[in-house]
Amino acid sequence: MYELIIIGGGPAGITAGIYAARKKIKTRLLTSDFIGQVGLSGKIENWPGKTSIKGAALIGQFEDHLRQHDICISEDDALAIEQGQQQFTVRTGAAETLLTRTVLLATGRTPKRLGVPGEEHYAGKGVVYCTTCDAPVYQNKNVVVIGGGNTGFSSAIELTDYAREVTLLEATDTIQADEVLQERAAKKGVHVLTKQTVQEIQGDEYVNALVLNDGQKRETDGVFIEIGHTANSAIAPQAVQRNSQNEIIIDPYNCATNVEGFFAAGDVTDIKDKQIVTAAAEGTKAALSLYSYLRNI
- Which spans of this chain sit near another protein (rule: CB under 8 A)? 32-35, 39-40, 42, 54-56, 60, 93, 124-126, 128, 130, 132-137, 139, 205-206, 222
Name the minimum Å distance from CB 119 to another protein: 14
Q: Which is nearer to another protein, 93 or 252 (CB)?
A: 93
Helices (H), the chain: 11-22, 36-40, 55-67, 131-134, 150-159, 179-187, 276-295
What torsion do the CA atoms of 287, 290, 295, 297 make, to the nearest 10 degrees? -170
Name the minimum Å distance from CB 141 to another protein: 10
Q: What is the residue-wise DSSP string for 33-96?
A: -S-HHHHH-SEE--BTTBSSEEHHHHHHHHHHHHHTSS-EEE---EEEEEE-SS-EEEEETTS-
Q: Which is nearer to another protein, 123 or 281 (CB)?
A: 123
Beta bridge partners of 55: none
Name the minimum Å distance from CB 124 to another protein: 4
Q: Which is nearer to another protein, 35 or 281 (CB)?
A: 35
Name the minimum Å distance from CB 74 to another protein: 13
Angle in degrees, 0-180, between the axes of helices 179-187 and 150-159, rounded to the nearest 10:
20
Name the minimum Å distance from CB 32 to another protein: 7
Query: At 87, which amino acid appears?
Result: Q
End-to-end CA distance of the chain: 15
Q: Which is nearer to another protein, 33 or 45 (CB)?
A: 33
Q: Which is nearer to another protein, 135 or 190 (CB)?
A: 135
According to DSSP, the β-strands at 109-111 and 2-7 are unpaired
Helix (H/G/I), strand (E/B), else coil: 15: helix
Q: Which is nearer to another protein, 128 or 240 (CB)?
A: 128
Q: Which of 62, 75, 7 is nearest to 232 (CA)?
A: 7
Name the minimum Å distance from CB 67 to another protein: 13
Q: Which is nearer to another protein, 34 or 263 (CB)?
A: 34
Q: Enumerate residues 6+ apart whose C-beta is below 8 A from 84.
A: none
Name the minimum Å distance from CB 194 to another protein: 28
Q: Which is nearer to another protein, 132 or 202 (CB)?
A: 132
Residue 240 has what DSSP assignment? S
Cβ atoms of 237 and 83 closer than 8 Å: yes
Name the minimum Å distance from CB 149 to another protein: 20
